[in-house]
Amino acid sequence: MHSAFATAPAEQAIPITFVTKAAWESIGTTLGDSARRFAEANGFAAKSGQYIALPASSGEVSQILFGLSELPDRSHDPFLAGKLPGLLPAGTFRFANAPHDTHLAALAFALGSYRFNRYRKADAPKARLIPPDGVDIADISRMADAAALARDLINTPANDMGPEELETAARALAQRFGATFTCIVGDDLKQQNFPLIHAVGMASPRAPRLIDFTWGNPAHPKITLVGKGVCFDTGGVDLKPSSGMLLMKKDMGGAANVLALAQMIMDAKLKVRLRVLIPAVENAVAGNAFRPLDIFPSRKGPTVEIGNTDAEGRLVLADALALADEESPELLIDLGTLTGAARVALGPDLPPFYTSDDKLALDMARCAQTENDPLWRMPLWPRYDAWLDSKVADINNAPSGGFAGSITCALFLQRFVEAARSWLHVDIYGWTPAAKPARPEGGECQAARAIYKMLSERYG
């Protein structure tokens, strides 16, 4: 069970009462005159996110009031209860009444308890919640623990999270669940036909590698996850400006979220044969860095002209996807922090996803909504496919023009998926720019909970 939760008897826990403006009058009458007057004197009016601790006659906290918006309310945040760990004093608490969604409120409480304290002591919240009745606390804990893994990996700076350190994290996860682990490193990538992964990572003194582990019954449906593991992205020879490079420690966010998703799948013992592939590289600048207009073969065969060295994520994913596709998985999923175009279109909180499988798209949209893990389907628009054409190679990794950048990236990756029965591509941001309830500023777990929910329904 996640550390945000407690197992003390519920009657010993301090009650948290959720209050809307419409319910405040009736709830206020149940508090007693002195408690109600105390709340009103301190300005409590049941505004969304408003909090007050009511004292007992002994001076201890007797009850918490926490404001919620009315439903339907387009501004309502289902994770609003994620503010509570940062507000509550030390102690054990329980939900005295039901919030709008008890499952999401309990999950938000756990997610809001996260602190990144590897480099500086951070006071962890000391409030604990008695699991509410009717929720699957094991599943909530599973998702919160996985989110913490993704956040920790992304938040760790690149000097301590290079390709080798990412391999170490993946290996530890594989060993924890008895998965079979292998890793191809450095020049062995060229010898074993992963030329694009090698090309992107060859300029760094930190050797590129392809992380590969499998878990589960080989007779079960094959589910393969591929995560972009660019541990730092300078942009290569097409160097990013300082403002664009500032957050590039998060460019391995796809790998971090794939590991979080794999952890949930294995911990839940879903009936799948899971494979995880992570091309882990650093896109550095040196005399041997790959250059604009260089041409490289790919594992699948088509030659790739380099239109821009800062479009490196799709290159490393292409070789990994080609490997995954060779065993014709039932479902092939890739996650990556790939394009600024996705952020321009949908912002940091709403990653686009791409698939030609309409049933999968509907399931993903529904699970994204129920788990408050927002996703939005974008089209694999075939008329833009010609934009990837090259005059001297089979394909260009970064067409000129600047339009539809997230779509053309997805179309590029689609060229390397042929035999998989179904394919899902998600262009995540992997970062929360400003703190929100349950989502501290910093590395973020995106898409993984929604995908886990979908897989749980299919293979639970």
Domain 142-459: CATH superfamily is Zn peptidases (3.40.630.10)
Q: Which two tokens stand for residue 39?
A: 């709340």
**What values do phi and psi take at 90, rounded to 5?**
-60, 140
Query: In the prediction, which pLDDT does 402 show?
Result: 83
Q: What is the pLDDT along the chain (460 residues), one digit of tens a residue?
A: 999 999 888 788 999 999 999 999 999 999 989 999 999 999 999 999 999 999 998 889 999 999 999 988 888 899 999 999 999 999 999 999 999 999 999 999 999 999 999 999 878 899 999 999 999 999 999 999 999 999 999 999 999 999 999 999 999 999 999 999 999 999 999 999 999 999 999 999 999 999 999 999 999 999 999 999 999 999 999 999 999 999 999 999 999 999 999 999 999 999 999 999 999 999 999 999 999 999 999 999 999 999 999 999 999 999 999 999 999 999 999 999 999 999 999 999 999 999 999 999 999 999 999 999 999 999 999 999 999 999 999 999 998 888 999 999 999 999 999 999 999 999 999 999 999 999 999 999 999 999 999 999 999 9
With residue 215 as reference, give the H or E element that holds it: strand 209-215
Where do the domains of the chain lie? 10-135, 142-459
| Cα distance from N-terminal residue to C-terminal residue, the chain | 20
Q: Are β-strands 303-305 and 273-283 bridged in parallel, bridged antiparallel, or unpaired?
A: unpaired
10-135 has which fold? Leucine Aminopeptidase, subunit E; domain 1 (3.40.220)
Query: In the prediction, which pLDDT does 11 show?
Result: 82
SS3 230: strand
314 is catalytic: yes
Q: How many CA atoms lie within 13 A of 157 on its CB side?
A: 6
Q: What is the value of pTM for the model shown?
A: 0.97
Query: In the prediction, which pLDDT does 72 show?
Result: 81
- The rounded distance, in Å, linking the Cα atoms of 30 and 36 is 9
Question: Cα dist. 221→218, 276, 354, 386 in Å?
Answer: 8, 14, 21, 34
Query: In the prediction, which pLDDT does 131 show?
Result: 96
Q: Give the position of tokens 């590698």.
A: 209
Q: Which two tokens stand for residue 291?
A: 């250059």
Question: Cα dist. 381→190, 385, 395, 398 in Å?
Answer: 33, 7, 17, 16
* DSSP β-bridge partners for residue 18: 66
Pick the catalytic residue: 128, 250, 314, 439? 314
Query: In the prediction, which pLDDT does 162 show?
Result: 98
Q: Which two tokens stand for residue 392?
A: 């001297």
Pick the catalytic residue: 190, 240, 377, 436? 240
